[in-house]
Chain A
Amino acid sequence: MDPEGVLSPPSGSVPPARATRGPRLGLGAEGARSLLIAIVSSIVFFGLIAYVVVNSAGWPRVQAQFLDAELFWASLPKVISKFWVNVQLFLIAEALILVFGLLLAVLRSMPGPVVFPLRLMATIYVDIFRAVPGVLVIIALGIGIPALRIEGVPKDEFFWAIVVLTLVYSAYVSEVYRAGIESVHASQSAAARSLGLSQLQTMRHVVVPQAIRRVIPPLLNDFIGLQKDTVLVSFIGVVEIFRQTQILTAANFNFTPYVATALVFLVVTIPLARFTDWLVIRERRKGQGGGSVAAADSGKRSRLRA
Chain B
Amino acid sequence: MTAALSIQGLHKSFGELEVLRGIDLEVAEHEVIALIGASGSGKSTLLRCVNLIEPIDAGRILIEGDEITAKGVKVDRIRRRVGIVFQAFNLFPHMSVLDNVTLAPRKVLKLSRSEADAQAIALLERFGLAEKAHDVPDRLSGGQQQRVAIVRALAMKPDLLLLDEVTSALDPELVAEVLDVIRELAAGGMTMLIATHEMGFARDIASRVCFLDQGRILEEGPPSQIFAEPREERTRQFLNRIIEAGRL
Contact = CB atoms under 8 A, between A and B. Distances in A.
Interface string B203-214: 000000000000
B127 interface: no
A195 B103 contact: yes
B90 A187 contact: yes
B92 A304 contact: no
Nearest to B92: A206
A194 B152 CA distance: 11
Given A1-B39, A300-B87, A197 B108 contact: yes
B53 interface: yes
A304 B168 CA distance: 15
Interface string B59-96: 00000000000000000110110111011111111100
Contact of B86 (A3, A187, A303, A304): A187
**What are the 6 A-B residue pairs with the smallest beta carbon separation, nearest first?**
A196-B80, A195-B104, A297-B88, A191-B90, A196-B108, A196-B79
A302 to B, nearest CB: 11
Contact of A188 (B76, B84, B92, B153): B92
27 contacts: A1-B168, A187-B88, A190-B86, A190-B90, A191-B86, A191-B90, A191-B91, A191-B92, A192-B103, A192-B104, A194-B83, A195-B103, A196-B76, A196-B104, A196-B108, A196-B156, A197-B108, A210-B92, A290-B93, A293-B89, A296-B87, A297-B88, A297-B90, A300-B87, A303-B39, A304-B14, A305-B17
A201 B108 CA distance: 9
Contacts of B6: none
Contact of A210 (B39, B51, B82, B93): B93
Interface in A170-219: 187-188, 190-198, 201, 205-206, 209-210, 213
A58 interface: no
A71 interface: no
Nearest to A1: B39
B192 interface: no
B51 A197 contact: no
A305 B108 contact: no
Interface of B: 14-15, 17, 19, 39-40, 44-45, 51, 53, 76-77, 79-80, 82-84, 86-94, 103-104, 107-108, 138, 152-153, 156, 165, 168-169
A194 B89 contact: no
Given A206-B92, A297-B88, A304-B14, A201 B107 contact: yes
B90 A296 contact: no
Contacts of B90: 187-188, 190-191, 293, 297
Contacts of A300: 44, 87-88, 165
A303 B79 CA distance: 25
Given A196-B80, A206-B103, A303-B39, 8 more contacts: A1-B39, A3-B169, A188-B90, A194-B82, A296-B87, A296-B169, A297-B90, A304-B40
Contacts of B152: 195
A118 to B, nearest CB: 20
Interface residues of A, number: 30
A289 B153 contact: no
B9 to A, nearest CB: 21
Contacts of A201: 107-108
Interface string A134-163: 000000000000000000000000000000
A167 to B, nearest CB: 31
Contact of A290 (B14, B84, B86, B138): B138
Given A290-B138, A304-B40, A305-B17, A194 B79 contact: yes
A259 interface: no
Nearest to A187: B90
A294 interface: yes
A198 B80 CA distance: 11
B17 to A, nearest CB: 7
Contacts of A294: 88
Contact of A205 (B14, B89, B103, B138): B103
A195 B83 CA distance: 7
B95 to A, nearest CB: 8
A194 B84 contact: yes
A196 B110 CA distance: 12
B12 to A, nearest CB: 11
A194 B51 contact: yes
Contact of A213 (B80, B88, B94, B104): B94
Give the interface centre of B79, B90, B91 by most chain A CB atoms within 10 Å: B90
